[in-house]
């Protein structure tokens, strides 16, 4: 009877094997670099699809045709890791170079940068 009452180790109580570290080597021979200024994101329940291309007239109004040259499909696990890596990279960039302004009108309006500089100087003056 003592044998029946003995506790048999289960997955919860058994010692886990030591974790093995994965070392990834990047092979980038033959990689073709490209520049894109347009990205469309689409998704399905199983994957995320990024269409990337070049917008020849990013400040144009009216109808603009953007040629998509690259399509990247990935699962949501990879997309979330990519999101975290991009978020971390953008945060570091903004800490060094300042906030990235997404509003085009604020970036390209003549005199806008000068007005912001003057406003900041005015805020720094003792009152």
Q: Are strands 47-54 and 38-43 parallel, antiparallel or unpaired?
A: antiparallel
Helices in 23-99 by DSSP H: which ranges?
A: 76-97
Phi, psi of 66 (to 5 degrees): -110, 125
pLDDT tier, 120 (very low <50, low <70, confident <90, very high otherwise): low
CB 27 within 8 A of CB 44: no
Tokens representing residue 59 in the block: 């400040």
Q: What is the pLDDT of residues 94-106, one digit of tens each?
A: 999 999 998 877 8
Q: What is the pLDDT of residues 34-90, one digit of tens each?
A: 999 999 999 999 999 999 999 998 888 889 999 999 999 999 999 999 999 999 999
Predicted local distance difference test score (pLDDT) of residue 104: 78
Indicate yes or no: pTM above 0.75.
Answer: no
């Amino acid at each position: 009877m003592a044998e029946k009452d003995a506790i048999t180790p289960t997955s919860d109580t058994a010692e886990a094997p030591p974790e093995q570290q994965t070392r990834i080597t990047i092979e980038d021979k033959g990689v073709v670099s490209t520049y894109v200024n347009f990205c469309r994101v689409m998704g399905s329940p199983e994957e995320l699809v990024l269409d990337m291309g070049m917008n020849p007239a990013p400040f144009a109004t009216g109808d603009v045709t953007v040629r998509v040259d690259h399509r990247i499909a990935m699962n949501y696990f990879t997309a979330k890791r990519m999101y975290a890596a991009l978020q971390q990279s953008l945060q570091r960039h903004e800490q060094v170079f300042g906030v990235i302004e997404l509003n085009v009108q604020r970036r390209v309006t003549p005199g806008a940068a000068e007005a912001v500089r003057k406003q900041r100087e005015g805020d720094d003056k003792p009152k």
